[in-house]
Amino acid sequence: MFNLGWPEVAIVLGVALLIFGPKKIPQLGGALGKTLRGFKEEVNAAKPSETDPYQDAEDADYR
């Protein structure tokens, strides 16, 4: 995706460790995980209506 190798990942982690410190990094990781999990749940919740455009029409009573 970003074409990062192991040296680049190590540099990014080292800089993050210097900026945030060892106590703050697990908290940031947890917050990032919760954010991504919530985003994934919202995307998955939206998929059924996108895959079947006639689902709403079948659910509604137009008679």
Dihedral angle at the C-alpha atoms of 56, 57, 59, 61, nearest 10 degrees? 140
> Is residue 12 one of the residues assigned to a domain?
no
Tally of domains within the chain: 1
Secondary structure letter of residue 60 according to DSSP = S
Give the DSSP H/E element, type plus range, for residue 55. Answer: helix 55-59
Across the chain, the runs of DSSP E, i.e. the strands, are none
> Is residue 18 one of the residues assigned to a domain?
no
Q: What are 56's two structure tokens?
A: 């709403």
Predicted TM-score (pTM) of the model is 0.51
pLDDT, residue 58, reads 55
Q: Which residue segment(s) compose the domain that 42 sits in? A: 23-49
- pLDDT, tens only, 2-57: 788 999 989 999 999 999 998 998 998 899 999 999 999 988 887 655 555 566 55
